[in-house]
Amino acid sequence: MKVVSTRPELRAGRAALTGDVAVVMTMGALHSGHEALLRRARAEAGSLVLTIFVNPLQFGPTEDFERYPRTLEADLDMARDCGVDLVFAPTREVMYPSGEPAVRVDPGPLGVVLEGASRPGFFHGVLTVVNKLFQLTRPDQAYFGEKDYQQLGLIRAMARDFDLPIDVRGVPTVREPDGLALSSRNRYLAPAEREAALVLHRALRAAAAAGDVEAGLAEFAKVPEVKLDYLVLTDPMLGPAPQHGPARLLTAAWVGATRLIDNLGVDLP
Ligand code: PAF
């Protein structure tokens, strides 16, 4: 496994890869959810590239950029274990040599609802760095988790609308045995907060069983220390909820100082 941090090193490393190339993009602090992405990509591609970069562009001024966990050595161990061929872990200066980029990807209407409404500029930052990393790594396939469902939809839309020759593949959310969706931010949770955080998955399941959000809202009401941001039922493309058939439940909530998101697919009878 080669680990590089500069553009010339990346160009040389990329040129040496064989077969179709898959990329998994991360901000590090890798967990079993990332491992599922890496293993799936490893199984489906000739070569596997992992990017690790905590992208300042996608953090708001009051968000957790500074304290976001940085665990490079452990991340590289997991990468090696998963058969990664090339790791690109650039510095901020390598990614943004002239400072904050003046030109950013506009995520369009899907980028200003839900996560985009609560975190202004978030998806501009995500799509801008994903677009740059696509240009730099030139993958044939890219793997993203369904845990970040809106992000996955927007990256698919960007690939389609910008004619990027990249097959964007979604990988199901990995959960702890008690239902908590894996997230690098779970590390922030104190034991009592982690217990309270289980309400996200409980509410999604209750709403899925009932086929509407009311049952999920009732679950949140039982755990007042968790501050609900949203719980919505939409169609699979995040448009208005259908009467029948495939739909998506999405939620976001604050558990203490930590903001968590989760979602679940449902089939409405
Ligand atoms: O999902 C993430 O970890 C990030 O949003 C991504 C896609 C790596 C862009 O920084």
Residue for token digits 């064989």? 18
> Residues 167, 191: one domain?
no
Determine which helix (DSSP H) or strand (DSSP E) holds 44, and give its type and residue range.
Answer: helix 32-44
Q: Is 146 in the pocket of ligand 1 (CB under 6 A)?
A: no
Q: Which atom of ligand 1 is nearest to the CA of 145?
A: 1
* pLDDT at residue 231 in the model: 98
> Residues 67, 92: one domain?
yes
Distance 60 CA to ligand 1 centre (A): 14
Q: Within a domain: residue 232?
A: yes
> Residues 56, 152: one domain?
yes
Q: Which atom of ligand 1 is nearest to the CA of 130?
A: 9
Q: Which domain holds residue 220?
A: 184-263
Q: Within a domain: residue 148?
A: yes
> Residues 202, 112: one domain?
no
Say how far apart CA 265 and CA 148 lie, in whole Å: 13
Q: What stretches in the chain show pLDDT beneath 70?
A: none
* pLDDT at residue 159 in the model: 98
Choosing from 171, 196, 226, the residue where a domain stops is 171
Q: Structurally, how many domains does the chain consist of?
A: 2
Distances (CA, A) of 186 to 64, 77, 175, 190, 258: 13, 20, 12, 9, 8
Q: Within a domain: residue 223?
A: yes
> Residues 145, 18: one domain?
yes
- Residues with catalytic roles: 34
Q: Within a domain: residue 139?
A: yes
> Residues 135, 8: one domain?
yes
Take atom 8 of ligand 1 and give the residue whose Cα is closest: 26
Distance 225 CA to ligand 1 centre (A): 28
Tell me 103's DSSP state.
-
* pLDDT at residue 225 in the model: 97
* pLDDT at residue 137 in the model: 98
Determine which helix (DSSP H) or strand (DSSP E) holds 192, and give its type and residue range.
Answer: helix 191-197
For 181, residues 6+ apart whose C-beta sits below 8 A from its C-beta are 33, 147, 173, 174, 175, 200, 201, 260, 262
* pLDDT at residue 147 in the model: 98
> Residues 65, 144: one domain?
yes
Residue of 141, 110, 89 whose CA lies nearest to 239: 110
Q: Residue type for 76, please? A: L
Distance 104 CA to ligand 1 centre (A): 16
> Residues 114, 222: one domain?
no
Residue pair 161/118 in contact by the 8 Å Cβ criterion: no
pTM as predicted: 0.97
> Residues 27, 158: one domain?
yes
> Residues 15, 61: one domain?
yes
User: How do residues 15-47 score in pLDDT, each as one tens digit?
Assistant: 999 999 999 999 999 999 999 999 999 999 999
**CA 151 distance to own-chain centroid:** 6
Q: Is 55 in the pocket of ligand 1 (CB under 6 A)?
A: yes
